[in-house]
Amino acid sequence: MKIQGTGALVTGASRGLGRALAEALAAKGARVAMVARDAAPLADAVATIRARGGIAHAIAADISNKHAVHAIAGQAQGLIGEVGIAIHNASTLGPVPLRLLLDTECEDLAAVVETNLVGPFRLTKILAGAMALRGEGAIVHISSDAAVEAYPRWGAYSISKAAQDQLSRVLAAELADTGVRVLAVDPGEMDTKMHADAIPDADRASLQRPAEVAARIVAMIEDGERAKSGARLVAPNWQVAS
C-alpha cells in the first residue's frame, strides 16, 4: 500500500509510539490526523511534523467517549479527506501500580476495555466501510505480548488486548477480498511513558526506541504481501530493508 498522499488517522498520537507513527507516516507523504486527549502535547507533536514540511492535524478527543467518535472521524475527514490508514494506538493500563485481577475494581476493568477495545471498534465501524467500498485500506491494532502471555498484575490490560487481537482477526475474515487489511501488531517493549508507568525500574537502555518500531509498522502497512490481513505481527521480528 502506498503511503504517499494517503490519509492516515493515529490515536494516542501526542507521545510515544503514536507520535512516532504519525511522524513516520508524515515523512512518507501521508496526511495525518493525530488524536489524543491532551491538547498541549498534541499541538507540540503536530507542530514538529509541520516544521519538517509534513501534513498533520490535531484532534483533541478521548477515544473512550462514545459521543466523541463520530466527531473524531468527521473532523479527520474534513481536514485530511478520505482515511486510508487507521492506527489504533491509544490505550490505557488502568490504575497503576498494576494490580492483581482480584484487587481490580470491576469498573476499572470496564474502563480499560472501553478505551482499548470498544473505542477502537466504534472508530473502525465508522472508517472501515468507506475503505472497503474504495477497495483499499489498512486498520492496525497496536497489541502487546500481554495479549497472549498471562502476566500477573496485567489482567485488565491483558484481557482488553487479547480481545482486540480477536477483533482484528474476525474483522479481517469478514472483510476478506475487500482490499482492507486488518493487522494486530505487538510492538515489543519500548521506552515510553506507558512502559515507565507499568515497569518504573526497567533498564531503559534495553528498550526499543519508538521511532525504530514505528518504521517497522509503517513497512508492514506498505507490504501487503508479507503483512497479510488477519495476521498478528511481532515488530522486533520484522526485518526492514535499509
Partner 1 sequence: MMYARAYARYASLAPAGTRIDEARASGGSSSALRSDEVSRHSVQLVTIDRMRDEVSITKFASLPSLLRAGDLVVVNDAATLPASLVGRTERGEDFELRLSRPIDGNRLFGVLLGPGDHRTRTEHRAPPPPIAIGDVVSLGALHARVVAAAGRRIELIARETGDALWQALYASGKPVQYAHRAELLPLYAVQTAYAGRPWAAEMPSAGRPLTWDVLLGLRRAGVQIATLTHAAGLSSTGDDALDRALPWPERYEIPRRTVELVADTKARGGRVIAIGTTVVRALEAAAHPSIGAFHAGSGVATLRLDADYKLRVVDGLVSGLHAPGESHFDLSSAFAPRERLTRAIELAAQHGLSSHELGDACLIL
Is residue 77 at the binding interface for partner 1, with CB under 8 A as the rule?
yes
Residue 66 appears among annotated catalytic residues: no
Q: Crossing angle, helix 155-174 and helix 119-134, to 10 degrees?
A: 20
Window 128 to 147, contacts with partner 1 (CB under 8 A): 129-130, 132-135
Is residue 220 at the binding interface for partner 1, with CB under 8 A as the rule?
no
How far apart are alpha carbons 105 and 30 in whole angstroms?
41
Residue 64 appears among annotated catalytic residues: no
Task: Retrieve residue 169's grid coordinates.
Answer: 482477526
Task: Retrieve residue 90's grid coordinates.
Answer: 491509544
105 within 8 A of 146, measured Cβ to Cβ: no
Residue in 143, 158, 160, 229 annotated catalytic: 143
The pairing of beta strand 232-234 with beta strand 83-88: unpaired
| Backbone angle region of 38, left / alpha / beta, with phi > 0 → left and psi within -120 to 50 → alpha | beta
- Side chain identity, residue 51: A
How far apart are alpha carbons 131 and 138 in whole angstroms?
8
Nearer to partner 1 among residue 44 and residue 108 (C-beta): 44
Task: Retrieve residue 185's grid coordinates.
Answer: 501488531
Nearer to partner 1 among residue 78 and residue 236 (C-beta): 78
The pairing of beta strand 55-60 with beta strand 83-88: unpaired
Nearer to partner 1 among residue 60 and residue 148 (C-beta): 60
Is residue 60 at the binding interface for partner 1, with CB under 8 A as the rule?
yes
Q: Closest distance between partner 1 and the C-beta of residue 210, in Å? A: 23
Among positions 81, 97, 152, 236, the unique one binding partner 1 when judged by CB under 8 A: 81
Residue in 157, 160, 168, 229 annotated catalytic: 157
Nearer to partner 1 among residue 44 and residue 145 (C-beta): 44
Residues near partner 1, by CB under 8 A? 46, 57-60, 67, 70-71, 73-75, 77-79, 81-83, 126, 129-130, 132-135, 174, 177
> Active-site positions?
143, 157, 161
